[in-house]
A and B are shown apart, each in its own frame.
Chain A
Amino acid sequence: SQTIHQWPATLVQPVGSPLSLECTVEGTSNPNLYWYRQAAGRGLQLLFYSVGIGQISSEVPQNLSASRPQDRQFILSSKKLLLSDSGFYLCAWLSPGVRETQYFGPGTRLLVL
């Protein structure tokens, strides 16, 4: 069966510090992968998605970047965090075929102080 992991689970970082959040998927190959952000009191905002290694599509201009160095690894990064980067970050993968569905990881809660 497929599983999706995210780490760390929680993170407190000072403004201006770098960021690296990791997402890995097991039990499937070359899935579409997604990064979402959920700010307090708001819905989910799609940040990036990837259809394969080295292929990243950005949905909104921001202080963040994404990379996909391996088939089942998706990384969200920032060189200098802003206060507005605080939120709950969710990674998801797409199960293909007739029953196509996005499945979400457990999330990382980021607090920028």
Chain B
Amino acid sequence: AQSVTQLGSHVSVSEGALVLLRCNYSSSVPPYLFWYVQYPNQGLQLLLKYTSAATLVKGINGFEAEFKKSETSFHLTKPSAHMSDAAEYFCAVSRTGANNLFFGTGTRLTVIP
């Protein structure tokens, strides 16, 4: 079975500081991993995904994530936070492409000016 754990339901960073949102997964087979972002009262937007190619995945808006099999992690990072990054971020895992996604409970990112 697959599952995702997002450590920290709320993360606050100062504008310009590093953003690190944590995601650990559990999967019996090599997983597909996704990060989505949700702005208030909107649907989810795909940030990036890992599909067994390069372990460092670059996404939109300057975000990237690194797949670390030994740590079963897929943490999301951005070198310098911007006010517009304030949103909720969801990590998701699947073992069969994107058909059956299991989502984490989300991390709300606050950016302090």
| Given contacts A42-B105, A43-B106, A32 and B99 within 8 Å (CB-CB) | yes
Output the nearest chain A residue to B108 by Cβ-Cβ distance: A41
From residue 1 to 56 of chain B, which have CB atoms closer than 8 A to chain A? 9, 34, 36, 41-46, 49
CA of A6 to CA of B97 in the docked complex: distance in angstroms? 25
Q: Is the interface of B mostly helix, strand, loop or mixed?
A: loop
| B interface residue count range (under 10 / 10 to 19 / 20 to 34 / 35 or more) | 10 to 19
Taking each of B46, B49, B99, which has the highest tally of chain A beta carbons within 10 Å of its own beta carbon? B99
| A interface residue count range (under 10 / 10 to 19 / 20 to 34 / 35 or more) | 20 to 34
Mask: chain A, 82-113; 1 = CB below 8 Å from B; 0 = not = 00000010101011000011111111010000
Chain B residues engaging chain A, CB cutoff 8 angstroms: 9, 34, 36, 41-46, 49, 90, 97-99, 101, 103-106
Additional A-B contact list (15), CB under 8 Å, known A43-B103, A100-B97, A101-B46: A41-B9, A43-B105, A43-B106, A44-B90, A88-B41, A90-B43, A90-B44, A92-B44, A94-B98, A95-B98, A100-B99, A102-B46, A103-B46, A104-B45, A106-B43
